[in-house]
Structure 1
Amino acid sequence: FLKLYALPHEIAEFTEDELLAHLRKSVSRSVELSKIRELQQAASKSIGLRQGAEMARLELKTILAKYELIQLQFEELDAKIDGLLDEVPGVPQMLAIKGVGRDTIAGFFAEVGDLSDYSHPRQIIKLAGLSLKENTSGKHKGKTTITKRGRKKLRALLFRVCMILVAKNTAFKALHAYYTQRPDNPLKKMQSLIALCNKLIRILFSIGKKQFSFDEEKMLRDIPHLAVTKKVEMAA
């Protein structure tokens, strides 16, 4: 309806058929006539000022033109990102990981760059500021925390995707449960997420180098109590 460039009191003057015909040109899904009536009823009760309607309409046209231009630029940017990702080794395998999306991988490479510049995932962990440090003073032994010396955006991106992985990915969910519930040295939730961020970095690094498919079952076998259970099942 914004493209009618009409103010509320003017919307009330359109017929139902005119509004319905306009909507059918703009949206793909069907629109109920009841919605049209609700809109007209709300517009008829508008108490907004009616002076300066021509300038308000001109401002609306300008805002919509800017919006459409920005949308077009976003579409062009998305197409450019897709083209660049197609050239990066291992991206299809990374995108096959449940819970990892295109924006995550694009953001990861935007911060990290070419994986061939790194010889070990620890370098990326350090770049993200996820390396561990122990806070000590004299004889006092403090808590172990992450350095946070690195790319803040990369660290934030990794935390966001790991929270999604813990919810949607079976292997990461199981590993998070193990870290936080194990009898010996259980981790707090945030500590576990840090460990999972580092795990994800290692996985993406390895896939980028060797282009293999991520295997959730293989990752689960790395969890001690699940590995023992697997051995018992195989023995039986």
Structure 2
Amino acid sequence: DNSQSKSDKKDALVIADMVKNGYYSEVRYTSESFEKLRVLMSNRDVVVKRLVSTINQLNRWVDIVFPELRQVFKDIKGKGAIATLRLFPTPTELETMQPHDVITGWKSIMKRQPGLKKAMLLLQVARRSVGTRQALDEYKFHLNQLLEEYDLAVTQLVRVEKQVTEALNKIPFAMKLLTIKGISEISLAGILGEAGDLSNFSHGNSLLRHAGLHLAEASSGKWKGQIVISKRGRSRLRRFLFLATMSLVVNNPEFKALHTHNVKVKKMKKMKSIMKLVGKLARIFVGISRRNESYCADKLKLLSPIAA
């Protein structure tokens, strides 16, 4: 009926009607090697999220207790900044110290440590710090916990990425895909983990549809909406395809030339050009996997209007 009421019986009838008319897609079963990549990359996402959260909390801690530390170390997660936070985190501890004391402390936990100028600058900014001087013991306790979380996340990230590399090496065509300049092991592992065996796809467009990167139009009667990306597919596969394409545009000469031609000659918007190159990358990946051949930059150059 056309009433606005909704019930479980109506839902079941709608689903049955869609299946009868063929509006469904079959589940893609993947082999164990690709399932391993998917599990490992999912684990890596969780670890990276925790690491980013811890770094943000460290930045907040520095803003409150020792904001002048950024005048000495621009990156709080750098080795020098982390070593300083471990040894003498608050400005009050540095007020009575000499430069050689700071350098000695750095040498105790760093192989390559900052020099005398950094130490003198650190003591100088510590003496005129505007950071809080209340509840310092509690702030130091909080910092120790944050550093423990940071160390754990970094260690786990190294371990999971090592496992990803080992799993990737067991896939035959993965090494051929890695010969493409600009494709990293992490981005390729993310794509293969979400998509499975690329040789099972009939065309690159099938991979795009699996990721939800195919085009869709919203229209009703005489009204026609914009043609947009459907986003009905694997969201993590979309993310890794996009990040891989961005890396190729920066590091790969062929993709960089295509992107430049799209923007300057065809007058495309940069994001539209990127999304067009995502489709090209999908077709290249599926083609290499199906034919089990190596990447040939000359073929891509022949397709480029600039090379022609």
Provide the residue aligned with 1:131 in structure 2. 214
Amino acid aligned to 1:194: M
Q: State how 1:1-236 maps to structure 2 within 5 Å.
A: 1-138=84-221, 143-179=226-262, 188-223=269-304, 226=307, 229=308
Percent pairwise identity: 33
CA distance in 1, matches of 2:101, 2:306: 67
Pairwise CA distance, 1:62: 2.0
The code of the aligned residue for 1:205 comes to V
Q: Give the match for residue 232 of structure 1.
A: none
Tell me how far 1:211 sits from its aligned partner. 3.5
Deviation at 1:69, TM superposition (A): 1.2
Relative distance call for 1:66 and 1:141 in structure 2 (3 A) is closer
**RMSD, aligned α-carbons:** 2.8
How far, CA to CA, are the matches of 1:26 and 1:9 in structure 2? 21
State the Cα deviation string for residues 179-213 of structure 1 (Å, max 9, x = none). Answer: 45667xx7554443222111101111222334422
Q: TM-score w.r.t. structure 2 length? A: 0.63
TM-score w.r.t. structure 1 length?
Answer: 0.80
Code of the aligned partner of 1:220: K
Shift of 1:105: 0.7
Distance 1:25 1:88, change over 3 A: farther
- For structure 1, the residue ranges without an aligned partner over 5 or more in a row are 230-236
In the alignment, is the contact (CA less than 8 A) between 1:132 and 1:144 conserved in 2?
yes
Tell me how far apart the structure 2 counterparts of residues 14 and 102 of structure 1 sit (CA, whole Å): 46
Report the CA distance between 1:40 and its aligned residue: 0.9
Q: For residues 108 and 188 of structure 1, what CA distance do their matches in structure 2 show?
A: 25
C-alpha spacing 1:75/1:9, structure 2 compared with 1 (3 Å): same
Q: Distance in 2 between matches of 1:187 and 1:6?
A: 50
Q: Which runs of 5+ in 2 are unaligned?
A: 1-83
Further displaced range: 95-104 or 152-161: 152-161
Code of the residue aligned with 1:88 in structure 2: it is I
How many corresponding residue pairs?
225
Contact 2:103-2:113 at 8 Å conserved across structures: no
Output the CA distance in 1 between the equivalents of 2:163 and 2:254. Answer: 32
Contact 1:90 1:209 in 2 (8 A): no
What do the CA deviations read for 1:58-83 (whole angstroms, capped 9, x no partner)? Answer: 22222212211111111111111111
**2:211 and 2:231 in contact (8 A); partners too:** yes
Q: Is the Cα–Cα contact under 8 Å of residues 131 and 147 in structure 1 kept in the other structure?
A: yes
CA contact (8 A) 1:5 1:60 kept: no
Q: Residues 214 and 230 of structure 2 are in contact (CA less than 8 Å); yes or no, is this contact kept in structure 1?
A: yes
Change (3 A) 1:100 1:11: same
Secondary structure of residue in 1 paired with 2:183: coil
SS in 1 for 2:303: coil
Q: Is the 8 A contact 1:128 1:155 kept in 2?
A: yes
CA contact (8 A) 1:5 1:61 kept: no
Separation of aligned partners in 1, 2:258 and 2:200: 29
Given that residues 24 and 30 in structure 1 are in contact (C-alpha distance below 8 angstroms), is that contact kept between their aligned partners in structure 2? yes
